[in-house]
Structures are given as C-alpha cells and as structure tokens.
Amino acid sequence: MKTIMNNKMLKVSLLVAIFATIQVSLMKAQTADATQQPAVEFVYGSGAAMELGDTVMIHKDSLRYITGERMSSWVYGVPHTIRQLGTKTKPTGVLLRGIYSWIAQGSLIPLNADKTQEAMDAKRAAEAAAIEAARAAEAAALAAAEAAAAEAARAKMMEEFVEEEVKDTVPPAPQPFQINRFTIGARGGLASLLPQSQPDMTTAFGFDALLDLQYAHYWAKADDKVRLGLLTGLSVGYMQYQQPMKKIREGFDYATAAGLETQYAISVDEISTVNSQLQLEVPIMFSLVSPKGLFLNVGPKLILPVYTPYTQTLTNTTITATDVLTGNVMTDNIVMGVLDKDYTQKGLNAHQYDLTIAVGGELGYEHQLQSGHSVSVGLYANYGVYSTYTNSTNGRVIDVKHPLETGALGEVIVNSINNAYVNKLCYFDAGLKVAFHLNWKK
C-alpha cells in the first residue's frame, strides 16, 4: 500500500515539474520576442506600450507641445484618444484626436485600466513570482521528466488556457462639444443715413465709432472643419454726417378773412447741416469660424437712435413780403419778418427713437493665443432695409408768422432740413473692426 502511494506522489511531482519546465520555456520565448523592439519605443511612464486608440490625459505640468507652442488651458483634465504615433519629421511625437499639435509621450498619462501604473506594478509582481516558482521547480523537473507525463501536462495546460480577448482598436466617433465666446470690439469707418428728400439734397458721408459687446455660442466636433454658431450682443456708438443744400427757394401766401393777402418769397444761398446721433445696435447673426482663423458673421441688426442733435447754418437768407392789394414790397423787414444773413441754430431731428432694421456682415481673420483666447481684425458693413421714420412737417425750412397772426411783429421759425425735406431715411456704415475674444469650452 505504501509503495502505491509513493508511486502516485512521484507521478504528481513529475507532472508539476514538466508543467513548470514548459512555463519557463514559454516565458523565455516571450522574452526573446520582446527584445525585437522597433527603433522608437512609445511607452508610458508606467512602462506600458502606447497604442493607437488608447485613452490618455495630458499631465498638468506639461506646458508646451514639442514644436514649442504653449498648450491651451482646455486640453487639461479631459480624456483624449491617441490618433497617430510618430511621423517622419517628429518620430517621437504623439498626435491626439482633436489636438493637431505633436505632444511628447512623457506628457501623457494612460487611462486604460491595464496600462496604469498600478496595473503594470501588479503585472510585474506576478511575473516575478511566476519566474521564481519556475526556477524552484526546474531542478526537480529536469531529473524526473517523462514523455507520457509531459504529454499529459501539455494537454492539461491546453485545456486550462483561455485566449485573451482581442481589444477593439477602432477609435470612437468624435463627440460634439460647445464653445462659448464673449467679445469686446471696437469699430469705425464711413457712415450716413442716406436721406431721400424733395427737393433732392447732396449726401456727404461722415464717420461712426462703436463699442461692441457680443456673445457667441458655437456647436462643433473634433474633426469639423468649420464651426457654426449664433452671435448677439449690444453695441453703443456715435455717428455724424453732413447734408449740404444750395440755392433754396421757398414761398407761400398768407390771406386774412377780410381778403387781405401777403405773398412771402424766401431765398437761402446755402444750408449746411451736420447731423449726429447716439445709437444702440442689437445684432442677431450667424457666425462661421474656420480652423485657419477666417471668420464670417452675417445677419440682421436692430439700430435705435436715442439722441439725434444737429447743427444747421443758413447763409445769406432773404425774406420778401409783397402786399397783393397795394403792391408794396418789404424785404427783410422787422415787421413782416427778418433773419440774420448768416444764421446758426442747434436742435434735435425728428427721427429720435425710430427703429431701423439693417443687414450686416463682418469678415476677417482671427489669431489664436496660447491662453486659448483670440484676437481678430476684419471689415464690417451694415445697410438699412427698413426704417420707421416718417416726416409730418409742412416741407419748409423757413416759416414766417404774419403780424396779424402774432399781434405784433412777424415771427420767423427755422426747421432742420431733415424735419422739412426728408421723406425717408436709410442707413449705411462700413469700416474696420478689431476685437478680443474670451473663449471657453463646454
């Protein structure tokens, strides 16, 4: 009975020894294969191999790309996917999906569960323990190995071996993200209200200057070539332009109930009016931004004047009153009406608080800063397509009240050109805009 037990124990020992021998042989073969590494090894600090499709995070102490540019703040603290390992010009660089600058492999921290520092430490400990156990069993296995026991051990090992599941290396589809932007801009250029009047007047362009406070929201994916968004905000500005008119001739008849009639004839060599307005603008525009920095903003604008002063100068004014019954003619007479030859007045135009709807556009170039924010320069233009302005005046710049109406001397009233002649106002401005953009990713 004792002999039988000894034989069984011997067979078990032989099986264990043969299994250990085969395990050591396989580990040596794997070690030999591992020595055949490529010229450039892409590994993490944990020692794990770096592969396409790995999920990583950029170390917060890494400040620059390998090309020298400073990293933007939004690249930290979020997961990224490895898109490419090395290139001819940057053999040691790593390219991440959504970040088109090369990063040193030492700046990356693996997020895959089997490639973290803890996982690699555990793997090395297990390999060291297995090698130590194999060395301890190798001496006994070499002396007592038998062909039959070796075949049995090999069959046993094949039954217990489970092939490791191949990981899916197809990169995930790019996820959408949002970019929010607050813009502080300044713009200035040519401007005019393009008045339409009867009689026609010459419109000379002036200037405008505005401060823009704008907010934009963009939708995009990592691989999108163009970002699309909506832009709105509030602009505060000032515009000024001039309206000159020459050789003004006006006239009207004044008749009393008793049949007495006076004919007035008024002439002005030149009227020069400088119109100004303080205005508010609210844009509602579509915004496109390309990866190369080109941008285009297009859409409607609401323009509201809140203060519309004017300064008007009349040169060489003559007022003639003719009594139809007697034929008497009085020119610049204090009784029938007189005005200084060169007369200047100030007042407010009647289009205050009239809303204008304009179509506007901005086109230019945007430069990305290392902080993730940006600056831009471009051209702008706005053209009014609708205005609520209506003129309800009598159509005369100079109006005279007859002495019989005032009970004393003739009274002269001077209106602005806008309030007297203008039937319709439009809007146009164009010029240069510079801006600073605060960008943050959501």
The alpha-helical segments, DSSP class H, found in 213-271 are none
Once rounded to an integer, what is the mean pLDDT over residues 384-402?
85
- Between 23-32, 52-61, 159-168, the lowest mean confidence (pLDDT) is in 23-32
User: H or E segment at 417?
Assistant: helix 417-421
Topology (CATH level 3) of domain 49-111:
SH3 type barrels. (2.30.30)
Bigger pLDDT: 271 or 29?
A: 271
What is the per-residue pLDDT across 367-377, written as a single tens digit (0 to 9) for each? 989 998 999 99
Task: Find out whether 427 and 356 touch, Cβ atoms under 8 Å.
Answer: yes
In angstroms, the CA 49 to CA 151 distance is 35
161: confidence class by pLDDT, cuts 50, 70, 90: low
Bigger pLDDT: 28 or 275?
A: 275
- Look at residue 37 in the predicted model and tell me its pLDDT: 38
Cα distance from N-terminal residue to C-terminal residue, the chain? 79
pLDDT at 32 over 50: no
In angstroms, the CA 376 to CA 363 distance is 10
C-alpha distances out from residue 419 to 195, 270, 358, 396, 404, Å: 11, 17, 22, 9, 26
Task: Find out whether 84 and 96 touch, Cβ atoms under 8 Å.
Answer: no
pLDDT at 412 over 50: yes
Once rounded to an integer, what is the mean pLDDT over residues 195-200?
79
Once rounded to an integer, what is the mean pLDDT over residues 328-353?
91
166: confidence class by pLDDT, cuts 50, 70, 90: very low
- Between 6-20, 103-117, 322-336, the lowest mean confidence (pLDDT) is in 6-20
pLDDT at 222 over 70: no
- Look at residue 257 in the predicted model and tell me its pLDDT: 74
Residue with tokens 């004044």: 254
CA angle 75, 169, 107 (to 5 degrees): 30
Bigger pLDDT: 364 or 43?
A: 364
pLDDT at 304 over 90: yes
Task: Find out whether 108 and 50 touch, Cβ atoms under 8 Å.
Answer: yes
Task: Find out whether 237 and 208 touch, Cβ atoms under 8 Å.
Answer: yes
Most confident of the ranges 27-31, 221-225, 265-269: 265-269
The reply to whether the predicted model has a pTM over 0.75 is no
- Look at residue 330 in the predicted model and tell me its pLDDT: 92
Once rounded to an integer, what is the mean pLDDT over residues 153-164?
68
Once rounded to an integer, what is the mean pLDDT over residues 139-149?
74
